[in-house]
Each structure stands twice: as C-alpha cells, then as structure tokens.
Amino acid sequence: MRRLLLASSSKYRQELLSRLRLPFTSCAPAIDETPHPGESAEQLVCRLAAQKAQALAETHPDHLIIGSDQVATLGDSILGKPHTFERARRQLQAASGTTVRFLTGLALLDSRSGRIQSDCVPFTVHFRELDDARIERYLQLEQPYDCAGSFKAEGLGISLFRATEGTDVTSLVGLPLIRLVDMLLAEGVEVP
C-alpha cells in the first residue's frame, strides 16, 4: 500500500484522518499562507491545500500527500483563527443570527507521479441568536481560539447552531473525508 502523509500538524485533521483506519504520518509544511491580491476565499484554500502537499513532495517521495486548508467566510469577510478571547467574542457576535460559510480546500498529491487531485468542499452553518452571556460561557468552557469561526463543531460549539447545510460534516472540522475517500479510491487505495 502507498504511504500516506498528512501535510498538517493539526490535531483535528489527524483525528479525522485516523477515522479511515489507514496508517499515515504527518508533517507540517512550511508555506506562506498570505492571500494573494484579488484572490477569492475558494481560490485561497485550493491554492494553499495544493501548496501544502507540494511543499513535502521532495522530502517524501513515493507518498500520497494530503493537503487541506480552510477558511470561514461571513459575507465578503474571511474569519481567521481568533487566537484570543476578545477576537473570538467579536467573531461570534458577528455570526449571531447569520450564516457562516466554510470552504475547505483539499488536495491529494502522488509525489511519485506528480499527479494532484484537488477540490473545494463548502459547508454552511446557520447560527442561533447569541447574546453576550452565552458567547462568554461558551468561550470560557471550550476556548476554541485555534479554530476558524471561533467554535468547535465536534464539541459544545454545536449548541451555537440553528442548522447546517453541506454534503460532508467533516469538512467543517477541516478535512472532508467523503471527498478524500473518493480521491484515495482513484489512487487505488482500498478504503476500508
């Protein structure tokens, strides 16, 4: 079986990939994640997912390398990882009663042939009306400061949602497993 490499140090992506019960290793790629002028959110995540995989190709020959990148968008604004309580509070206040769209770029690179498959998987979250007290309670309990959009859907963050829309809920956490399985099957990897 071909060796799998996850081009990420994200514990969330590692936990998701482990669901497929395929052996893999992970390594963080060193790339510049600065958006290009005029680049759409979708273009950004697709480019970064591919660059993450390609950055590790030379040092990991004969691997299938998985790259993924995600942004959350509120209207025309991109919501990054908040890193602090105050930024997380502002993000959740802005999301209250609205819709946030998550775009997850996914790339699978065969480092032996150079063939790359890529896609962007959208997922939409409709937020409940959130008052300041609820936002503060949530942030103190879960501290989702390393998560785009300031919540953990796999945890208590689900309580902030009114509804969700999308073909693959794992894309919300940052690695769309349904689409990844399609890509792995195209490379001859048997799952399960």
Residues belonging to the active site? 69
Nearest to 157 by CA among 132, 133, 138, 174: 138
Give the dihedral sign, CA 177/183/189/191. Answer: positive
Bridge-based pairing of strands 99-110 and 63-74 is antiparallel
Q: Measured in whole angstroms, how far is the alpha carbon of residue 26 from the centre of its chain?
A: 15
Q: Check residue 100 and report its DSSP letter.
A: E
Nearest CA-CA partner of 108 in 99, 100, 117, 95: 117
Question: How remote is the C-alpha of 121 from its chain's centroid?
Answer: 9
